Amino acid sequence: QQQVKQSPQSLIVQKGGISIINCAYENTAFDYFPWYQQFPGKGPALLIAIRPDVSEKKEGRFTISFNKSAKQFSLHIMDSQPGDSATYFCAAGDRGSTLGRLYFGRGTQLTVWP
Amino acid sequence: DAGITQSPRHKVTETGTPVTLRCHQTENHRYMYWYRQDPGHGLRLIHYSYGVKDTDKGEVSDGYSVSRSKTEDFLLTLESATSSQTSVYFCAISDVYSNQPQHFGDGTRLSIL
């Protein structure tokens, strides 16, 4: 059973446009929601993360929106650039658990055309 | 970048042979994880460790074993490799008690012919 569902699987955006990736979860114990960015040949790297006590977190052009009641969260990339072309993974975890385990979505391959 | 080294970075081997992948960290983090990444499946947890000699299974542990005799090293072993285990394998580390996120190595690309 997939703990975190991510969509779309792939996304093509024009340079300067907004990229939006959505994720949904079922486990209400989850209280930590990171996004990872992965370039070809490299491991995933933490991009931005949010806790459920806030509805939005912004870091530069990257924003996480969080809807606790709907159990959904999304990544918005404003003014998308060709350098943002990568695979993005959402994840969820329970910080109260001593196992530190994260559950990942299946990833979104983003292509930004110049 | 977190000090995580995976070795080898690439390996080609034959079905039925044993394979061991190594993850070495210099961060002294207690938690270490092995994932496999396959197209359309994202990152799936194979095994994880929450201390020296303390390990547990993830969601795709069949055919894999792990060992952790030192804080800095976490080994993943395929006792008898199969073609379905062709994948990219990632190691991650975490310092759970300080609420640090998981940091990943750069992966091992394993091809089993």
Q: For residue range A39-70, what is the model confidence (pLDDT) as tens digits?
A: 999 999 999 999 888 999 999 999 999 999 99
Res B49: pLDDT: 93
Candidate from A89, A95, A100 with C-beta closest to B42: A89
Give residues with Cβ within 8 angstroms of A79, minimum separation 6: A16, A18, A61
pLDDT in tens, B44-90: 999 999 889 899 999 999 999 999 999 999 999 999 999 999 999 99
CB–CB of A91/A34 below 8 Å? yes
Calculate ∠ Cα A11-B58-A69, nearest 5°.
55
Give me Rg for the CA atoms of chain A. Answer: 14
B96 vs A105: CB contact, 8 Å cut-off?
no
Beta strands of chain A (E only): which ranges?
4-7, 10-14, 19-25, 33-38, 45-50, 56-59, 62-67, 72-77, 86-93, 102-104, 108-113
A35 touches chain B (CB under 8 A): no
In the predicted model, residues of chain A with pLDDT beneath 70 are: 97-99
Q: What token pair was written down for A109? A: 């391959």
- The tokens for B5 are 């080294």
Q: Is A95 on the interface with B (CB under 8 A)?
A: yes
Q: Which one-letter amino acid corresponds to residue A57? A: K
pLDDT band of residue B2 (cuts 50, 70, 90) is low
Asked whether the predicted pLDDT for residue B96 surpasses 70, the reply is no
Q: How far is A46 from B104, CA to CA, in rounded Å?
A: 9
What are the b/e assignments for A1-35, b being 16+ CB within 10 Å?
A: eebbebeeeebebeeeeebbbbbbbeeeebbbbbb
Report CB contact under 8 Å: B43, A42: no
Q: Is B12 on the interface with A (CB under 8 A)?
A: no
Most distant pair of Cα atoms in chain A: their distance: 44
Contacts B105 to A, Cβ<8 Å: 43
B31 touches A at CB < 8 Å: yes
The DSSP 8-state label assigned to residue A107 in this structure reads -
> By CB neighbour count within 10 A (0-12 exposed, 13-18 middle, 19+ buried), where does B109 fall?
middle
pLDDT of residue B111 exceeding 60, the answer is yes
CB contact, 8 Å: B94 with chain A?
A: yes
